[in-house]
Amino acid sequence: MHIHILGICGTFMGGIAVLARAAGHRVTGCDANVYPPMSTQLGAQGIDLIKGYGSDQIALNPDLFVVGNAISRGNPLLESILERNLPYVSGPQWLAENILRGRWVLGVAGTHGKTTTTSLLAWILDEAGLNPSFLVGGVPQGFGVSARLTDSPFFVIEADEYDTAFCDKRSKFVHYQPRTVILNNLEFDHADIFDDLASIERQFHHLVRILPGNGLIVANARETSLRTVLACGCWTPVEWFNGTEGWQAGESDVSGGFDVSLAGKSEGRVNRFDLAGAHNRANAVAALAAARHAGVPVAVGIKALESFKGIKRRLEARGTVRGVTVLDDFAHHPTAIRLTLEGLRQKIGSARILAVLEPRSNTMKLGVMNQQLPGSLVAADTVFCYADKLGWDAAQVLAPLGERALVFAGLDELVAAVVAAAHFGDHVLVMSNGGFGGVHEKLLAALAA
């Protein structure tokens, strides 16, 4: 079957493309913006990409169009598909019907930490010899791809609460019918599609309602919103983590190592862990709990954590020039920004952090999180904000940070200011959920010059 994917360079739809190719289909796709790591991954898989959504792509005559949730009415290719009554389906529905059916699905849901926790869980199962299939919203360093298809009964998936497609406004995760679910956290986000926190909680409860009685929910004990969701009705056993009950991660040592306990009883020690921050240790014990449900002994899971290599765009070092290290991170919600900065601070001690921020997500562009933004950046020594095409005054929002916050409307001016401020030993942390105009390469080149 020939499948043509609209929005193929999104992390989720790019993963769909890889899985479809592995399942034996011919896959092509199109997108408006093509940038690494997804464009690189798709090229390596031999998947042809077309830039833009021209209606002339109808002439490719695929058997099925798979439509990503970034595609809206008015898109010329989508309009041509509808006018001609050609077959189409959403990405989550295609995945559920063609790949996930009959498998033991382990899903990771939550506002933050989905990609990291999904990667950790897939790594643990793989190191345990279970050879899982997976679909992650990033590229785990140990695997080198964001998705793979195997003959294993286990499938690990990042279970996103964002809507499915233009034709289906349910959250993606309701399609996956998982048996094991990690509920990592739940805050207000995606202000472009959700009116308030209660509307997101409702979607999470839709997920809880379809979980089987022989399944497992691994839930963050510190999240009041998750307790609210489960109080609406729960028919599946629950194991808590990150609180005074259930699974706990101890404080880390200089190697990142930490103790793991369950109900106050020691389960072992992770001797080395490369991910910084208490939030990542919590992600790790959640992954241990979910893996145990799939039959992985805790001791085996702990050993796997010690060899985990991290994920691209999650505190990923892009290069060091003249003693200045440039890091890349996907953080774009104030909570994720704060946790990322705190994790880096814990890792590098008193060295300076120059935070370079692009408020790019729909929620950030709407200004919904403005009051939280200054507080999320306090761990940075200096903040450089790229304020191109924002609907709010970034200088005014970041004013509580005083002279530590600088705002730029031009990317070249921002790069020049960062390079002028950077000293030997500094860490430049770039935070954006997009390509950010290739700012990482621009910074490294300017530092070298």
Q: Quick: pLDDT tens for 215-241.
A: 999 999 999 999 999 999 999 999 999
Q: Mean pLDDT highest for which of 127-136, 311-320, 323-332?
A: 127-136
Match 């990923």 to its residue by tokens. Answer: 316
Q: What is the mean pLDDT of residues 394-405?
A: 91
The per-residue pLDDT for 198 is 86
Give me the DSSP letters along 51-89: ES--GGGGGG--SEEEE-TT--TT-HHHHHHHHTT--EE
Question: What confidence score (pLDDT) does residue 272 get?
Answer: 92
**Beta-carbon neighbour count of residue 39 at 10 Å?**
18
Choice among 192-196, 254-258, 340-344 with the minimum mean pLDDT:
192-196
Domain(s) of CATH 3.40.50.720: residues in the chain: 2-92
In the chain, CATH 3.40.1190.10 covers 102-305
pLDDT of residue 107: 97
Give the mean pLDDT of the chain: 91
- At residue 37, the pLDDT reads 64
pLDDT of residue 194: 64
pLDDT at residue 188, as a whole number? 63
Res. 358: pLDDT tops 80: yes
CATH topology assigned to domain 2-92 = Rossmann fold (3.40.50)
* CATH fit for domain 316-448, picks 3.40.50.300, 3.30.43.10, 3.30.420.10, 3.90.190.20: 3.90.190.20
pTM over 0.85? The answer is: no
Could you give the CA distance from residue 159 to residue 433 in angstroms, rounded to a whole number? 18
CATH of 102-305, one of 3.40.140.80, 3.40.630.10, 3.40.1190.10, 3.40.50.970: 3.40.1190.10
Query: Residue 192 pLDDT more than 70?
Result: no
For residue 384, the cross-strand partners are 356, 406
Q: Mutual orientation of helices 439-448 and 411-421 as an angle, nearest 10°? A: 50
Question: In this predicted structure, what is the pLDDT of residue 333?
Answer: 80
Q: What is the share, in percent, of the chain residues with pLDDT greater than 90?
A: 66
Question: What stretch(es) of the chain map to CATH 3.90.190.20?
Answer: 316-448
Estimate to the nearest angstrom the gap between the alpha carbon of 189 and the chain centroid: 13
For residue 190, the model assigns a pLDDT of 59
d(CA 291, CA 281) in angstroms, rounded, equals 15
Look at residue 313 and tell me whether its pLDDT is greater than 60. yes
272-285 pLDDT tens trace: 998 888 889 999 99
